[in-house]
Amino acid sequence: MLINTTEQAHAEVERIFRVILPESGLTVRKEQILLCHDMLDGLLHNTISLCDAGVGIGKTYAYLVACILTRKYSLCLNRPIVISTSSVALQDAIIGEYLPFLSNVLLSGGIIDEPLTAHLRKGKERFVCDERFAQRLRAVAGKKKNAEQFAALNSLMLHYDLDTVTGLSEFDRRQVCVPKACPKTCARKDTCRYHIYLRQAQMGTSMIQICNHNYLLADAEHRQQGFHPLLKEYGILVVDEAHKLWDAACQMYGENLSPQDLLEFCTLLEKEKYSQTANALREKSEHLAAAFRYTDRGREEDRRLPFIFTSARREALKECALLFHQTKEVLAVSVPRWMVHRLEKAERTVQLFLNQDSGYIFYLKYDREGTPCLCAVSKDIPKRLRRALWEQHIPAVLTSGTLKAGNSFRPVMEKTGLDVLQRVETYSAPSPFDYKRNCLLYFPEKSGNPSRDSESNRVAEQILQLTKATCGHTLVLFTSYSFMGAVYNLVKGQLRVPLMEVWRNSQDTIRRFKREQNAVLFAAGSCWEGIDFPGDMVSSLIIPRLPFPVPDPIREAQRPNYMTLQDYIQAVIVPEMQVKLRQGFGRAIRTETDTCVVAILDHRAAPGGKYHREVTETLPPVPVTRQLEDVERFIRARKGPDYFFVQRREAVCLKTEKCARCGSTVAAEART
């Protein structure tokens, strides 16, 4: 029976991708069809499929079609599909673009009998609490407030999903979001929009549930502890952006405590008329913050540091533990149970640090102001992921553009606990783009033996040379905000096109860069993935340093598992660099017609360098040069007249006070 249904399902894949979707105007590639077949096989045979899908494959349509046909032809018929992602943007695209389009074309093609239905499941902190919203409106009534922020706050009367509102300040967001625990006595509980949303999600019959990785793991935790599940019972699991699953697990399978958590709890105590207790707790919170505060204010990046005991730190933790225990006993009979639970959690975290539980990795995470957060992460993340997700015997697809490190799935399998399971299959779907024709990889010739002090000057000079050779249209991806700032100060004022820098993924700057059409953008952090610059706006991608991970206690805890330091670097550090490099490289070519020069300025990546092999096995086959003249020839050969016209127009705009002279200068450039 399974053989017949499998054949029917695969026949429908062919019809969908070769007839129905092309007739609807969607571009279909053979690599996408093969990927869908692989995913469908895995789901029908109840395996866990790891699918590394290159840029431009169209993996989202591939796994959606595979899931729909699996549900149609297998025992998963009456159970929903869960799609877990790491980004709100992808969730919105799936529910607002992919599914409506696919539903219409599959209905008209006779593949399905009823429309595809989906429900978005998100954490409560992403929704408006109507009671807290009313309190916030009363608090700002009659007061001066930024007009845009005030308008955004008022718009919450119509929108209860905070992710759909722009311009809302982070402070307002914290003030109006649903709290970690809703009081059972809340007068608005029956009419609260968040609770109505929850009831609709649980009672609805949606075919697809969409959530993020943290929500997926929280649901699994609820099931293991016998609590009410967050998601409806499902029969198929898709983990998109699966390279982020381990990061989500580090957050889920750990404990953390910050002074802000304690101060927030003090506010709750004051509302319950426990002002004296709140004052005592606030004093201990200040002692805790002082004992762990990080004083290096010159840095820009958040930092993780190993936890080291000092007498002051031990004393601060003991004082907190004692106060938590005493307060818990006082409050146990007079405040809501959820408040006691929060206090118990804080006490448990402090005791973990005091006892130095061998099952955890302890570290301190600091924000930009040097405020500490005490963090303890389980050492058994692979085992816990295996128990939570993979041992439930549910067919699953894990997919991403960067699942492989180099040519191997081994690193991601080890981190997610899949390396010891038998029912795991791996698939690679290389990008269909013609990198050999449309991309050029450039390594500069090594000049002397540059010291660390001169690195900023060397990189700034190389960036200036490359932007001149490519006529702007440049994205520079840094691994450090501080290094980015140093190079920016050396480059600014020397370019004939606008220069911008993105701090903490400022969407306003990214939008401005896109509007300019020709500019130079300095970026770091989250800009290594998830941003899309199709066309000519990024025709030059520059990577000053190989993106090796910053040392932190979680990675360092793995060193004892390896015989030598070199073994540890090759097994842990290099694969992470390769994944991040692939993510960055993916910003270069976004469509079939894009052309781009990718320059890696790190001498360790160049031919003969220490990591040249690891770099080349990470990237698609692409021509390589070490000559700057080849970069200019490539751009001149691949770009049309409009590409260079935009550059000349920007030169005029940059010198508006000398427009007459600039006009003649540009004309002279045009003749050359």
| Same domain for 559 and 628 | yes
Residue 426 has a pLDDT of 95
Give dist(CA 574, CA 405) in Å, integer: 8
Inform me whether the pLDDT recorded for 652 exceeds 70. no
pLDDT in tens, 41-68: 999 999 999 999 999 999 999 999 999 9
pLDDT average, residue stretch 313-341: 85
| Same domain for 301 and 160 | no
What's the total number of domains in the chain? 4
Listed residue (102, 115, 26) closest to 66, CA to CA? 102
Least confident of 239-243, 366-370, 413-417, 479-483: 366-370
Q: Are strands 236-240 and 208-212 parallel, antiparallel or unpaired?
A: unpaired
Question: Within a domain: residue 46?
Answer: yes
Whichever domain contains 282, its CATH number is 1.10.275
| Same domain for 450 and 516 | yes
| Same domain for 606 and 468 | yes
pLDDT in tens, 163-172: 888 888 888 8
Whether residue 437 contacts residue 622, with contact meaning beta carbons closer than 8 Å, is answered with: no
Whichever domain contains 612, its CATH number is 3.40.50.300
Whether residue 8 contacts residue 74, with contact meaning beta carbons closer than 8 Å, is answered with: no
Question: Within a domain: residue 656?
Answer: no
> Which residue in this structure is represented by tokens 């607002």?
96
Residue 123 has a pLDDT of 81
Residue 194 has a pLDDT of 86
Inform me whether the pLDDT recorded for 606 exceeds 50. yes
Inform me whether the pLDDT recorded for 656 exceeds 50. no
Inform me whether the pLDDT recorded for 339 exceeds 90. no
| Same domain for 285 and 169 | no
Question: Within a domain: residue 657?
Answer: no
Question: Within a domain: residue 55?
Answer: yes
Give dist(CA 55, CA 38) in Å, integer: 18
Neighbours of 581 (CB within 10 A): 26
Whether residue 464 contacts residue 494, with contact meaning beta carbons closer than 8 Å, is answered with: yes
More confident residue, 656 or 511: 511
Strand ranges (DSSP E) for 337-473? Answer: 360-366, 372-378, 396-400, 424-429, 439-442
Residue 98 has a pLDDT of 96
| Same domain for 526 and 397 | no
| Same domain for 275 and 366 | yes
Question: Within a domain: residue 646?
Answer: no
More confident residue, 20 or 151: 20
The rounded percent of the chain whose pLDDT value lies above 70 is 92
Inform me whether the pLDDT recorded for 361 exceeds 90. yes
Question: Within a domain: residue 671?
Answer: no
For residue 394, what are the domain limits? 2-117+205-251+381-429
More confident residue, 198 or 107: 107
| Same domain for 506 and 482 | yes
pLDDT in tens, 290-312: 888 876 654 445 688 889 888 98
Question: Within a domain: residue 385?
Answer: yes
b/e per residue 26-50 (b: at least 16 CB within 10 A): eebbebbbbbbbbbbbbbbeebbbb
Residue 668 has a pLDDT of 33
Give dist(CA 183, CA 339) in Å, integer: 9
Give dist(CA 103, CA 466) in Å, integer: 46
Residue 542 has a pLDDT of 98
Q: Which of 152, 171, 193 is the last residue in one of the domains?
A: 193
| Same domain for 136 and 95 | no
pLDDT average, residue stretch 151-155: 89
Q: Which of 429, 445, 466 is the last residue in one of the domains?
A: 429
Q: Which of 378, 398, 413 is the last residue in one of the domains?
A: 378
More confident residue, 295 or 153: 153
Alpha-carbon dihedral angle through residues 456, 459, 462, 467, given to the nearest 10 degrees? -100
| Same domain for 365 and 398 | no
Listed residue (589, 599, 592, 667) closest to 632, CA to CA? 599
| Same domain for 567 and 545 | yes
pLDDT in tens, 406-461: 889 999 999 999 999 999 999 999 999 999 999 999 999 876 555 545 889 999 99
Question: Within a domain: residue 666?
Answer: no
Radius of gyration over alpha carbons of the chain, in Å?
A: 27
What mean pLDDT is reported for the chain?
A: 87
Residue 447 has a pLDDT of 66
pLDDT in tens, 496-547: 899 999 886 577 888 899 888 899 999 998 889 878 888 899 999 999 999 9
Residue 62 has a pLDDT of 97
Inform me whether the pLDDT recorded for 340 exceeds 50. yes
pLDDT in tens, 200-252: 777 767 899 999 999 999 999 999 988 888 899 999 999 999 999 999 999 89
Sign of the C-alpha dihedral computed for residues 72, 73, 77 and 81 taken in this order: negative
Residue 414 has a pLDDT of 93
| Same domain for 346 and 409 | no
pLDDT in tens, 5-32: 889 999 999 999 999 999 999 989 999 9
Report the phi/psi class of residue 500: left, alpha or beta, with left for phi > 0 and alpha for psi in -120 to 50: beta
Secondary structure, 3-state, 21-75 = HHHCCCCCCHHHHHHHHHHHHHHHCCCEEEEEECCCCCHHHHHHHHHHHHHHHCC
Single-letter residue type at 61: Y
Inform me whether the pLDDT recorded for 387 exceeds 60. yes
Residue 460 has a pLDDT of 95
